[in-house]
Structure 1
Amino acid sequence: MERVLRVLEYNKMKQQLQEHVASSLGKQLVHTLKPHVDLEDVARSQKETSEGATVLRLKGHVPLGGIFDVTAHAKRAQIGGALAAGELIEIASTIYGGRQLKKFIETMVEEEELELPHLYYYTQQIEPLTDVERAVKQCIDDNGHVLDSASPALRTIRQQVRSYESSVRSKLESITRSSNTQKMLSDAIVTIRNDRFVIPVKQEYRSAFGGIVHDQSASGATLFIEPQAIVTINNQLREAKVKEAHEVERILAELSALISEHAEAILINLEQLAQLDFIFSKAHYAKRIKATAPLLNDRGYIHLKRARHPLLADEEVVPIDVILGDEYRSLIITGPNTGGKTVTLKTVGLLTLMAQSGLHVPVDEESEVAVFKQIFADIGDEQSIEQSLSTFSSHMTNIVDILGKVDFQSLVLFDELGAGTDPTEGAALAISILDDVYKRGACVVATTHYSELKGYAYNREGAMNASVEFDVETLRPTYRLLIGVPGRSNAFAISRRLGLDERIIESAKEQIDSETNQIENMIASLETSQKSAESEWAEASEIRKKAETLRNELMAQIEQLEEQKERVLKEAEDKAKAAVESAKEEAEFIIGELREMQKEGLNVKEHQLIDAKKHLEEAAPKLTAKQKKVKKEAARAKAKQTIKAGDDVKVLSFGQKGHVIEQVNEKEYNVQIGIMKMKVKADDLQLLDKPKQVETKPLATVRGSEHHVKPELDLRGERYEDAMLKVEKYIDDALLAGYHQVSIIHGKGTGALRKGVKQLVSKHPRIKAARDGGMNEGGLGNTVIELK
């Protein structure tokens, strides 16, 4: 396997991946990365990368700063070792970084409701360890210096040290500034030798100062003397510094013991942080190489759309399409040298390895990759100088090893199969090897120069020819892969372009047998057909795009027309309503007059009713053409309703409610409107809904019996006004249910819901007390209420 990873440049790809890790934790996982062989493992790893890519797409960054690999520190503390100040501050920084990352992912999952199950799982294993971090940072600053505030004793000792140092410096500086002594000094400075303050004295004035000589210059002309006047203070200073060192050691030992107590949790945190760093490094790499998540299968099917080799520069790489494992399991690629055959082979192999490693691959969306148990590759000149093997022998040794292991769950890549020996024998061997691998059910991609293999796919079921395109006009390969078309010899065309005499070319053609000529002509025809098909496909795609654009424009116009239509209908409806209101007023006036006549005891005769009805009809609104259209549409909608005697209806032309007495015929009904009975057409009636009998049941019953009130109310996601109404109703229900204590879950969010709940419960007469939730009750996101 190591050899396959090397020849497919898997390790070079990992070097690119390592550029995106944020800590040595992730770097170690990249270093040990190997392809998975189980479909479930591959799918899980791919989903992790997709989640990381989602976070990067939405947030643009991930807080992974300040994280160190403190595994060795934690393990040394675990066995009783004392840690240095710098090591302790690295542990505190890592604890803080882990907590920040945990909060970052939890916010996205819990508040923004993103689906990140794998990232969320890892962050849930991270223990905050806030007390440990606080204890370290209270004693040590970010530069690894133990603070004076680490202990009262240390503060006192350091004050003494500063006092002694100040006293010593003061006395020495008075000596260096004295005009009597300046001529005795090599330089008017105070320096340190052997951790004691000294002054540089000329050799000849040694006896003038007394004290202790701690050093001398290289020439011997200057002595670094500690004058007798400061020896005592220097001794006191030295003793204070020893005490300081002992106190610092005690503080570090105490902190190391604290780390030892939590070492197991720290190591677990490191494992989770390593996984998260690794996942986000894969996501960053996917973004860099413009990769996507492939579809996965375990049936050997590969479909790469516009696949690109990740190690090639964007301006150099030519995307290729590769299909294998469905209608055919053997792909034979032919073409000229430097045409891109080997790059195609490596692209298929490396992208498969990347996908099985959980990495997104540089292909277009909806590409599919198979998960293989084994991948074999015989690529490049692997001859061994030490073993004195020829190129052919080296390749054959490798192929023999491959044939001993290959099975139906394998992908095999052969570069220049059968090369390095007699062409006839080499071609025959290549055909036999391909047949053997095919019989075992493996997927195989092979490149070759042999013309005998060009017809291989035509005579073998499950095999397909392919070639790399060569532009005869420019005498350069295009690096495009043509599936279904074998490569053809371009020797004659190239020679002609380079100016070789046509007579020589024609003579050379006569040397080739007719069968070879037929094959070359067939290949040329296939190439022409494929190019024509591609051209027509491109033209059809362009027409389709234009049609889609036109369709979108038409849809936009239709939407505008619909909006305009709605606007016109609305205006017509408003006008109709105004006309109906006017008619209603007129009708009510006429009916009022009739009622007055009845009150006065006057008989309302038939001709008076006819006159009143005529006045009503004249008061009806005169609809415009558009209003009539609206009315007709409304009538068609009402036609489906079934009206019968006893129904309550609305007479649309008057806007009055009435009662159906009887049906005259299919199109007319006798309707009672107030004191009048009228014959009304069916399409002028609207059936009114009868009030529904609503079954009422108590919200909750007295304690001990069944109720539907939960001991908590979840308001997260609610609008403020709706939430306050729900709280008031919930408190009433909880009181009916007999609860003594309930919880209002409002979340932290902006704090508006929390503030509103606090204000409401503080004024409620049946609430005894209210408090924030405890550590295990949701904290500030929950308000616990005690009921009277």
Structure 2
Amino acid sequence: MNERVMRVLEYDKMKEQLKEHVTSSLGRKKVEALMPHSSFTEVKKDLARTKEGVKVLGLRGNVPLGGIHDIHAHIQRARIGGTLHSSELLEVADTIRAGRRMKVFVHDMVEEEIDVPELEQIVAGIFPLTELERKIKGAIDDHGEVMDIASPALRQIRRQIRKSEAAVRSKLENYLRSPDQQKKLSDTIITIRNDRYVLPVKQEYRSSFGGIVHDQSSSGATLFIEPQAVVTLNNELREGKMKERQEIERILKELSSEVQKHTEELLQNLTYVTELDFLFAKARYAKALKATEPILNEEGRFVFKKARHPLIDQEEVVPIDVELGTTFSSLIITGPNTGGKTVTLKTVGLLTLMVQSGLFLPVDEGSEATVFTKVFADIGDEQSIEQNLSTFSSHMTNIVNILQEVNHESLVLFDEIGAGTDPTEGAALAVAILDDVYKRGAKLVATTHYSELKGYAYNREGVMNASVEFDVDTLRPTYRLLIGVPGSSNAFLISRRLGLAEDIIERAEKELHTDTRQVEKMISSLEKERRQVEAEWEEATRLREEAETLYRDLEQRIRELEREKELILERTREKAEDDWKKAQKEAERIIEELRTLQKESAHIKEHRLIDAKKKLQEAEPKTSKRREQIKRKAKKERTFSPGEEVRVARFGQTGTVLEKLDEKEYLVQLGIMKVNVTADEMEKVKEEKTKQPMRPVTSVSTHNTVKPELDLRGFRYEDAMREVEKYLDEALLAGYPRVHIIHGKGTGALRKGVKELLKNHPNVKSTRDGGMGEGGLGNTVVELK
């Protein structure tokens, strides 16, 4: 990509935005050196890395990248035997730590089965260098100062220095506390000159202290004197500090030699931590732009959905839908000035350069992008004063250079092609240039004002018209790109709305060539049809969404009904299986009893065999008996007698049977009407039992028929609630103090309903779940009042 194309497409301005997301000077340099790739493989790899960065930020929120420094110069100096400063060694240790933390960070994600192969590959090249980091951190603190613990000798030297300092200060403080000496001092403080402790003495008392004069004030009224009494102590202190410097120098030299041993590993670490900083800068930039990963293809096709120019405020930019290389390879955009044609051109160019730099794009999901070997652009007014070239000459010079290099793997962007010269000649030249680019197989986007080019797409296969929309009511552009419709200049319409005299506009319209008027009419017609199609499309979309919603609701309801059906069938199967197992056990017991009887006596009495056979028959599964009962009951219930109350489903009313007309039809009185009703349409109305007053337990005759437990398993919810109400009354009459209601576990709905009913029943004292051997949660024990 040449420098001029990068400049006109504002690639460098985009990189300035990207720089805001790096964490180190190394990352900044990496961004500054960023250039688009022309290799599909390289672009795919870079996009994969950006994708992993976005994924990690989404999962972790941030990454431990702090502490990276550009230590290239430090490493090179250590390599040739130089001694590094303590702060430089600290930067080396911090950079080692940053790489090590990132290595651990990625390994932790891998252990959590988060798939990040590109990050794994990067951190695999980072050397932990834990020992070197430990030695540096063990000698130098976070402020870059060599610590006492760096060596035993340094600890001893500094202890002696502190002792000497204390002795010097003690001697000098005696001068400050003495009333006789205080009047000879300019100020009662101890200060330092030439690394030696001194006192500020008035000029006239110079001889009173002896010792050495190190400095004097600007006025000469004060001398900074080292009294004779502390000269020896100051000498000792100075000697101690000299030893300290020598020991620190030795420690730093020793640490620098350790760095020298690992220069290659450190340089490799720098490469990888720089790559990590750059990778996560791209990920953070994608997050800031709300960008997405485009689908990459090798067919020279891009489809940008709701594309936004990254340099325009993302809250104000108008998204555009633009594509190329699908059913057409050239796009001719027409429309008024300031309508957004150039912005569209720059958006296409910059997004192409961004994706080839491994960056996500500010587009909607499902967008596609491709890789071009070269991108060419002729955009903007670039007169060359130095070369004495006009606007047209400047553009033509650039176009000539483009045509010398363009091929089928190129993207070409022309802004106002053929402008700056005679319109007729310019239009003809533009058509010829567009044809040449088209024949070479390059992808092309061009903007123009020429009416001749509005019909260009209709005469060329693989060329498509487009326009930037203009609102003639507000006289403002909408910045929307409309593919398939050429733009109208709207000059006459705008002039009319702005108040230009009608006769002037009419004369102007007459001056237009017939072909031009026809083109304008065609454009107006297409625009009208487009708006109509858009309205119909929106209505169709709305209806489709409503249908989809209804379909989803129905599907959900069907699934719920299926689940309910399966649940009922499962409960029925479980009950049948339980009944069968009980019957089988009972049969086995009876057979065993027969065998025992056979062993006891060779001659078994007839009545005992009959009893055993009867028991065996009674052990038949209840489900079989239940089915027969249901059949008999159904048949019986379809027979009605005059005077019986029945409910007629067809009318939803209760009536009385008057007479039987034939085997299937009856005459029924429904209110004031008499109607003929078939047996299938009727069902008997059960008479409610009248509730009897409470009797003493001793007088209850139903005790033998009412069991101390009620089994609701297999009942429907409503039927079960009615059975519980009825059973509680009967149990109360029977005198039971406690009963068991068996509802099973199932889905919990029946259990919940039973609990709720018992909670509010006036004759229930308390309830509890069944305990061990009582059925657990499948049984509720009820204490009656």
TM bucket, shorter chain = 0.7 to 0.9
Decide whether the 8 Å contact of 2:291 with 2:362 is kept in 1: yes
Instruction: Report if aligned partners of 1:586, 1:616 keep a CA contact under 8 Å in 2.
Output: no
Aligned-pair CA distance for 1:139: 0.8
Contact 2:586 2:619 in 1 (8 A): no
- Is the Cα contact below 8 Å between 2:168 and 2:233 reproduced in 1? yes
Q: Tell me how far 1:575 sits from its aligned partner.
A: 2.9
Gap change, CA 1:219 and 1:559, over 3 Å in 2: same
- Give the match for residue 188 of structure 2: 188
Query: What are the Cα deviations for residues 702-722 of structure 1, in whole angstroms up to 9, with x where unaligned?
Result: xxxxxxxxxxxxxxxxxxxxx
- In the alignment, the residues of structure 1 paired with residue 204 and residue 508 of structure 2 have an alpha-carbon distance, to the nearest angstrom, of 105
1:277-676 → structure 2 map (5 Å cutoff): 277-596=277-596, 598-599=598-599, 600-602=601-603, 612=613, 616=617, 619-622=620-623
CA distance in 2, matches of 1:618, 1:610: 13
Secondary structure (helix, strand or coil) at the match of 1:441 reads: coil
Structure 1 vs Structure 2: percent identity of aligned residues?
61
For the residues of structure 2 that align with 1:286 and 1:301, how far apart are their CA atoms?
A: 22
Aligned-pair distance for 1:6? 0.6
Using the TM superposition, give the Cα deviation of residue 583 of structure 1 relative to its aligned residue in structure 2, in angstroms: 2.7
Task: Name the counterpart of 2:55.
Answer: 54
- Output the CA distance in 2 between the equivalents of 1:273 and 1:127: 11
Q: Find out whether 1:146 has 2:146 as its counterpart.
A: yes
The Cα shift of 1:413 comes to: 0.4
Question: 1:614 offset after TM fit, Å?
Answer: 9.5
In the aligned structure 2, how far is the partner of 1:519 from the partner of 1:102? 65
Structure (1 or 2) with the larger CA radius of gyration: 2
CA distance in 2, matches of 1:184, 1:266: 61
- Deviation digits for residues 614-645 of structure 1, max 9, x if unmatched? 9527733145579999xxxxxxxxxxxxxxxx
Question: Is the contact between residue 427 and residue 450 of structure 1 (CA under 8 Å) also seen in structure 2?
Answer: yes
**AA aligned opposite 2:11:** Y
> What's 1:120 paired with?
120
Equivalent residue letter for 1:360: F
Give yes or no for contact 1:572–1:627 (8 Å, CA) kept in 2.
no
Distance in 2 between the 1:289 and 1:424 partners?
A: 43
- Which ranges in structure 2 are unaligned for 5 or more consecutive residues? 632-785
Instruction: Give me the whole-angstrom Cα distance separating, in 2, the residues matched to 1:530 and 1:627.
Output: 72
**2:627 & 2:425 partners in 1: Cα distance?**
92
Partner of 2:663: none
Given that 2:594 and 2:612 are in contact with CA atoms closer than 8 Å, whether structure 1 keeps it comes out as no
Shift of 1:534: 2.0
Further displaced range: 584-593 or 167-176: 584-593
Give 1:495 shift.
1.7
Aligned residue identity for 1:547? A
Q: 1:247 to 1:39 in 2, by over 3 A?
A: same
Contact (CA 8 Å) 2:294, 2:367: kept in 1 or not? Answer: yes
- Contact between 2:587 and 2:619, CA under 8 Å: does it hold in 1? no
TM-superposed CA distance for 1:467, in Å, is 0.4
- Contact (CA 8 Å) 1:594, 1:604: kept in 2 or not? no
TM-score by length of 1: 0.77
In the other structure, the counterpart of 1:179 is 179
Q: Which deviates more from structure 2 when the two are superposed, residues 556-565 or residues 346-355? A: 556-565
Q: CA deviation at 1:65?
A: 0.8
Question: C-alpha distance in 2, partners of 1:333/1:549?
Answer: 39
2:106 and 2:629 map into 1 onto residues whose CA distance is: 59
Alpha-carbon distance in 2 for matches of 1:149, 1:591: 94
Summarize the Cα distance change of 1:618–1:269 in structure 2 as closer, same or farther, 3 Å threshold: closer
> How many angstroms does 1:318 deviate by?
0.8
- For residues 332 and 295 of structure 1, the distance between their equivalents in structure 2, rounded to whole angstroms, comes to 25
Letter in 2 for 1:93: D
Give the Å deviation of 1:218.
Answer: 1.0
Letter in 2 for 1:401: N
Deviation per residue, 1:265-319 (Å, 9 max, x gap) = 1111111111111111111111110111112223321111111101110122111
In structure 1, the residue corresponding to 2:305 is in which secondary structure? strand
Aligned to 2:161: 161
Deviates more, 1:509-518 or 1:306-315: 509-518
Specify whether residues 586 and 243 from structure 1 end up closer, same or farther in structure 2 by C-alpha distance, changes over 3 A only.
closer
Where does residue 97 of structure 2 map in the other structure? 96
SS in 2 for 1:464: strand
Structure 2 distance, partners of 1:376, 1:395, is 13
Inter-partner Cα distance in structure 2 for 1:323 and 1:609: 93
Summarize the Cα distance change of 1:607–1:157 in structure 2 as closer, same or farther, 3 Å threshold: closer
Give the whole-Å Cα distance in 2 for the aligned partners of 1:92 and 1:262.
Answer: 12
Partner of 1:19: 20
Matched residue of 2:405: which SS? coil
How much does 1:609 deviate? 8.6
**Mapped pair 1:10 → 2:8:** no
Contact 1:305 1:320 in 2 (8 A): yes
Code of the residue aligned with 1:573 in structure 2: it is R
Determine if contact 1:300/1:409 at 8 Å carries over to the other structure.
yes
Q: Is the 8 A contact 1:572 1:626 kept in 2?
A: no
1:542 partner SS? helix
How far 1:545 moved relative to its partner? 2.5
State the alpha-carbon separation in 1 of the partners of residues 431 and 406 from structure 2.
Answer: 17
2:441 partner SS: coil
- Per the alignment, residue 72 of structure 1 pairs with 73
CA-to-aligned-CA distance 1:686-733 (integer Å, 9 cap, x gap)? xxxxxxxxxxxxxxxxxxxxxxxxxxxxxxxxxxxxxxxxxxxxxxxx
Task: Please report how far the alpha carbon of residue 503 of structure 1 lies from its aligned counterpart in structure 2 after TM superposition.
Answer: 3.5
Instruction: Return closer, same or farther for 1:369/1:625 CA change in 2, 3 Å cut-off.
Output: farther
Letter in 1 for 2:74: H
Structure 2 distance, partners of 1:266, 1:445, is 48
Q: 2: distance between equivalents of 1:613 and 1:353?
A: 94
**Structure 1, residues 489-518: CA drift from partner, whole Å, max 9, x if none?**
211211222233334333332222332222
Note the alpha carbon deviations across 1:96-149, whole angstroms, 9 max, x for none: 11111000001111x111221111011011111110011111111111100111
Task: Give the aligned length.
Answer: 628
Give the gaps of 5 or more residues in structure 1. 630-788
Q: Distance in 2 between matches of 1:394 and 1:613?
A: 116
Residue 173 of structure 1 deviates from its aligned partner by 1.4
| TM-score normalised to structure 2 length | 0.77
SS in 2 for 1:333: strand
Paired letter, 1:346: K
Deviations 1:334-390 (A, max 9, x none): 000000000000000000000001111111112111211111000111111222211
Q: How does 1:690-709 map to 2 (within 5 A)?
A: none
Q: 1:604 to 1:368 in 2, by over 3 A?
A: farther
Q: Is the 8 A contact 1:379 1:415 kept in 2?
A: yes
Q: Which residue of 1 aligns with 2:205?
A: 205
- SS of alignment partner, residue 236 of structure 1: helix
Measured in 2, the distance between the counterparts of 1:269 and 1:306 equals 40
Q: Distance in 2 between matches of 1:150 and 1:523?
A: 84
